[in-house]
Structure 1
Amino acid sequence: MSNWLYVLYAVILGIVSWYTGEIVTFVMLGAILIALNNINSTLKKMYLQNNERSNNEHK
């Protein structure tokens, strides 16, 4: 997913949480989404580096 989809998802969650009064839940979900996004991007970088390294060894 691209970053604008994360922003859209956060805005929708924010509106829903404001109407339901669950602001703390919104903050916690936001923190979890940011953490998962960081983990995902780190794993992608590690995967690409590993692929690049293994491709260089086979040449």
Structure 2
Amino acid sequence: MNNWLYGLYALILGLVSIVTGEIITFVMLGFILISLQNIHSTLKEMLAVQKEKN
């Protein structure tokens, strides 16, 4: 996915959280999503390095 799409998802979730009054939930979800994105990027890099070795 593109980075702008992640931004769009974050914006939509932010608007929903403001309407429902669950700002803390939005912030915690944001931290979780950022962590998962970092893990995914690292795994993709590891896979690319592994493929180059073989």
Alignment TM-score > 0.5, same fold:
yes
Match of 1:57 in 2: none
The match for 1:10 is 10
Whole-angstrom CA distance in 2 between matches of 1:33 and 1:19: 21
**1:1-59 matches, cutoff 5 A:** 1-54=1-54
Offset at residue 2 of structure 1 (A): 1.2
Structure 2 unaligned regions, length at least 5: none
- The normalised TM-score by structure 2 is 0.97
Say what the alpha-carbon RMSD is for the aligned residues: 0.4
* Unpaired stretches in structure 1, ≥5 consecutive residues: 55-59
* TM-score between the two structures when normalised by the length of structure 1: 0.89
Query: Highest Rg: 1 or 2?
Result: 1
Percent identity between the aligned chains?
A: 65
